[in-house]
Structure 1
Amino acid sequence: MKNLHRSLLAMAAIAAFTAPALADSQVQLFGIVDAGLLSQSKSRTGGSQTRVETSGLRQSVWGLKGSEDLGGGLKAFFNLESHFDVDTGALHGSGDTAGSGTIMFRRQANLGLSGDWGSVTIGRQYGPALLAHLGTEPRAFKEQFSNLYAWAYNQLEPLAGSTAVNTNNDVGIFFKNAIQYRNTLGPVTFGVLYSLGEQAGNTSKNTAYAVGAAYNGPVVLSASYQAMKDLTTGNRNIEHAGLGGAVPFGAFTFKINWLQGKNSNSDGLPTSRVDAYSGGVDWKWSQANTATLAYYDDKDKRNSEDHTRNLVLSNDYALSKRTTLYAQAAFVDAKSQASLKTSIVADGSFAPGQKTTFLNVGINHTF
C-alpha cells in the first residue's frame, strides 16, 4: 500500500510539472477526403471509360500539425502531411527520384519558428512559387482540370526520358532538404526557399531555389520563379516562372494566369518550353454555390504538336463548412503529340489528336 501511495504521489508530481507545458502547446489532426466518379468519352487506348476517382476537387490528405508559444511573440511549429488515394487506400505516388521508396509524408515533414519577423521552416515543404498563384490560377490549382498539372509535369522531366536529375524536386511543388523564409508586409505575402544540394565538394550541384509573392489588395497580383540544378553537372535543368492577376467585381472574380516551364538535359541542351495561358471567372451565384468557367491553352514552343486547348465548367455546392458536393466538365482538344506537359487532366488520359469530354462528380470533406 505504501508503494502504491508513493507511485500516486510521483504521478501527481509529473502531472503538475507537465500540465503547463501541455497547455502551451497545440497539436491538431487534420485532413481532406475526396472521392467521386469520372467518365470520359475517349481514352489513350481508344474507348470510353468510367472509374472511381480520388481527389477530384482537392487532394486527399491526412496530417498532424502543432505549435508551441515560446513567449515574446515567438512560436515553434511543425507540419506532417501525407497524401493518399481514396479509391485504393494506397499512399499517392511521388515525383521523387527513382529509388526513393514509399514517401509517408510526401507533402510536408518540417519544423520551424515564427514571430513578428515572419517564419523560417526547415525540411520537406511546399515551395513559395506555387503558393503565390493560388489566388490567380483560374481554378485555384484544383486537383483535377487545372494548370496544376502543366506546373507539375513541366518540372518532372524524367517522365520524358531526360537524363537530368535533381533529387530535391518533387514536381516543383514539394522540396526536400529545404529552408524557407516567409513573411507578410502590408498587402504583400512572399516566400524565399533554398534546397541544399548536399553533394560533397560542391555547393551548387543538385540545389533548388524558389521565390514567390502575392499582392492582396483591391486586386490580386502574383509572380514566381524557381529553378533546379542537375545532380551530376550542376547545369540549371529546370526553370519555371509565372505571373497572374485577379479582379473581383461583385459576385464575380475574373482571373488570368501565365506559367512557363523550360527544361534542359544534363548537358544543358534545351528539351522543352511550355507556355501555359489561362483565364477564367468565378461566380458566387448563391450563398452555397460557386460556378467557375475557365479556359487553358498549353503549348510546347519546341514541339507545336504538343498542344492542348481546354474548356472547364464546374460548380461547387457547400453542404456545410466542411463538406462540398462538386460537378465539373472538361473539354480537351489535343494535338497529335499532346503529352503530360500540356495536360490539365491529372493522369493525362485524354486522347491525342482528338477531342475528349470528361465529367467528374464527387464529394469533398475536410476534418
Structure 2
Amino acid sequence: MKKSLIAFAVLGAFASVASAQSSVVLYGVIDASTSHMSNQTATGGKKFSLDASNLSSSRWGLKGTEDLGNGLKANFNLESSLNVDTGTAGSLFDRNASVGLSGDFGTFNLGRQTNLAYDTLIQVDPLNVAHVGTNPNVAIGALNNNGLFGTHGTSVGASSPTRQNNSVKYAFPSVLGGINFGAMYGFGEKAGDASASSYAGASAGFSQNGLTAVFSYGQLKDASNSSTLRVYTGGAKFVVNSDFTVKVTYAENELNTTGRTLSVLGAGVDYAVAPQTTLTAAYYANRRSGDVKGKADQYVAVAKYALSKRTTFYGSFSYAKAGTTAAKDQELGLFIGAGNKTATRTTVGLLHSF
C-alpha cells in the first residue's frame, strides 16, 4: 500500500510539472448582428440581414505553448472562421495554422498566417477592424479582396492574399525600449521557379509612451512570375489619455503590369464617454489611379457598451459615397449596390468572446 501511495504521489508530481510547463487554450469570438442597407439594387432596393462579424471576426481556435527550458518555448495556433448566422465555417483552420518557437531570439512561426500588411494595420486601424468585410484597410490595404488581388501570392485558388500559405514569419525581439522588426516569406512551391506565386515582406514598429507607429512592405508574385503586386502600409496611434485615442493610417498597393494603384487613407478617434461605453468615429478615402481613376469615401460611427469583460452590445452607422456609379468607383465603396452612387448601413449586434 505504501509503495502504491508513493507511486501515485510521484505520478501526481510529474503531472503537475507537465501542466505547469505546457498549456492548451480553447478560445473564440461569436458576433451576430442585424443590418439594414440602402441602395442595394439598381432601383435603390433595401436589404435586411442577420450577419456575423460586424464588430469582430467570428472565430474559434486552439493555441498552446510548451516550456522547453532556458527561455525557449514551443507554440502553436489553429484558428477557424465561424459564420454565426448559418452555423457554418470555412475550411478547417482557414484563419491560421502555425507552429513555432520563441525565446530571446524572438518568435519564429511556420504555416498559414496573416500577411504583414494585415499585422500592421490591425494595430492602428481607425475602426479597430470592425466591419471586417467592408473595412477599406482590410479589403484594400491588407488585400482581402480576391477579385482585385487573388492572382498573386501563395494562396491563389484558396483564399485572398490576406493569409499566406506555406509561410515563415519571424518577429525580432523588441529593442531600445520599444522598436521591433519582422520578416515573412511565403513559398510559391512551383517546380523550376522559386519566385512564382511567392510572398516576401518586412515590417518595423515603435511603441512607447502612448505612441505606436508601424510600417510594412510586401511583394507578391503571380503564378507565371510575370507580374508583381507591391504593398505599402503604415500608420500611427496616439493614446492622448485614458479616454481619448487618435489613429491615422495609409495603405497603397501597385500592380506593375497595368500600373493600377489602389490607396486608402484612414483617420479616426476612440472616445470612452463612460467606463462601459466607447464611441468610435472613422473616415476612409479610397482611391484608384494608374490605369483608370476611381474614388469612394466611407464614414463610420460605432458605439460599444460593455455588458461584461467578454460581452459587448454595439451599434453602428456607415455611409459610403462613390465618385460615380461606374464599377471602378463602386468597388471602392465596398457596400454600394450596382447602379448606385451612395449607400448607408445601420447595424445592431452582440459580441461574446470566450
Contact 1:130 1:212 in 2 (8 A): no
Query: Per the alignment, in what secondary structure is the counterpart of residue 167 of structure 1?
Result: coil
Summarize the Cα distance change of 1:314–1:70 in structure 2 as closer, same or farther, 3 Å threshold. Answer: same
Residue type of the partner of 1:59? S
* 1:77 alignment partner in structure 2: 75
Q: Which of 337, 351, 356 is 2:326 aligned to? A: 337
Summarize the Cα distance change of 1:339–1:151 in structure 2 as closer, same or farther, 3 Å threshold. Answer: farther
Summarize the Cα distance change of 1:164–1:56 in structure 2 as closer, same or farther, 3 Å threshold. Answer: closer
* 1:6 alignment partner in structure 2: none
Contact 2:55 2:129 in 1 (8 A): no
CA displacement 1:71-93 (0-9 Å, x = unmatched): 1000001000000111111114x
Summarize the Cα distance change of 1:246–1:21 in structure 2 as closer, same or farther, 3 Å threshold. Answer: closer
The CA deviation at 1:351 is 4.8
Paired with 2:333 and 2:100, the residues of 1 have a C-alpha distance of 34
* 2:37 alignment partner in structure 1: 40
CA displacement 1:216-268 (0-9 Å, x = unmatched): 12322111111111112x1343211112122222322121111112235xxxx
* 1:317 alignment partner in structure 2: 305
Structure 2 stretches lacking a partner, 5+ long: 1-5
Residue type of the partner of 1:65? K
Query: Per the alignment, in what secondary structure is the counterpart of residue 273 of structure 2?
Result: coil
The CA deviation at 1:63 is 0.5
* 2:217 alignment partner in structure 1: 225
The 5-angstrom pairing of residues 1-367 of structure 1 reads 20-45=17-42, 46-92=44-90, 103-144=91-132, 145-147=134-136, 148-152=138-142, 154=143, 156=145, 159-160=147-148, 164-168=151-155, 170-183=159-172, 184-185=174-175, 186-218=177-209, 219-232=211-224, 234-250=225-241, 251-264=243-256, 269-270=257-258, 272-302=260-290, 306-334=294-322, 335-338=324-327, 342-343=331-332, 345=334, 348-367=335-354
CA displacement 1:156-212 (0-9 Å, x = unmatched): 45x25x894433364332111011111322212332100112122222112101222
Normalising by the residue count of structure 1, what TM-score does the alignment of the two structures yield? 0.84
Residue type of the partner of 2:126? P
Query: Per the alignment, in what secondary structure is the counterpart of residue 274 of structure 2?
Result: coil
Residue type of the partner of 2:135? S
* 1:96 alignment partner in structure 2: none
The CA deviation at 1:126 is 1.9
Residue type of the partner of 2:289? K
Paired with 1:342 and 1:201, the residues of 2 have a C-alpha distance of 36
* 1:100 alignment partner in structure 2: none
Paired with 1:175 and 1:142, the residues of 2 have a C-alpha distance of 22
Summarize the Cα distance change of 1:129–1:354 in structure 2 as closer, same or farther, 3 Å threshold. Answer: closer
Residue type of the partner of 2:219? A
What is the Cα-based RMSD across aligned positions, in Å? 2.8
Normalising by the residue count of structure 2, what TM-score does the alignment of the two structures yield? 0.87
Residue type of the partner of 2:341? Q
Summarize the Cα distance change of 1:44–1:211 in structure 2 as closer, same or farther, 3 Å threshold. Answer: farther
Contact 2:76 2:99 in 1 (8 A): yes
The CA deviation at 1:146 is 2.6
Paired with 2:247 and 2:30, the residues of 1 have a C-alpha distance of 27
* 2:3 alignment partner in structure 1: none
Paired with 1:305 and 1:174, the residues of 2 have a C-alpha distance of 28
Paired with 1:10 and 1:337, the residues of 2 have a C-alpha distance of 77
Summarize the Cα distance change of 1:338–1:331 in structure 2 as closer, same or farther, 3 Å threshold. Answer: farther
Residue type of the partner of 2:170? Y
Contact 1:299 1:307 in 2 (8 A): yes
Residue type of the partner of 1:140? N
Paired with 1:318 and 1:243, the residues of 2 have a C-alpha distance of 30
Residue type of the partner of 2:76? F
The CA deviation at 1:49 is 0.9
Residue type of the partner of 2:326? Q
Summarize the Cα distance change of 1:210–1:341 in structure 2 as closer, same or farther, 3 Å threshold. Answer: farther
Structure 1 stretches lacking a partner, 5+ long: 1-8, 93-102
Contact 1:155 1:261 in 2 (8 A): no
Identity value in percent:
30
Contact 1:39 1:358 in 2 (8 A): yes
Paired with 1:210 and 1:326, the residues of 2 have a C-alpha distance of 35
Contact 1:299 1:342 in 2 (8 A): no
Summarize the Cα distance change of 1:296–1:113 in structure 2 as closer, same or farther, 3 Å threshold. Answer: same
Summarize the Cα distance change of 1:128–1:150 in structure 2 as closer, same or farther, 3 Å threshold. Answer: closer
Contact 1:332 1:350 in 2 (8 A): no
Summarize the Cα distance change of 1:228–1:320 in structure 2 as closer, same or farther, 3 Å threshold. Answer: same
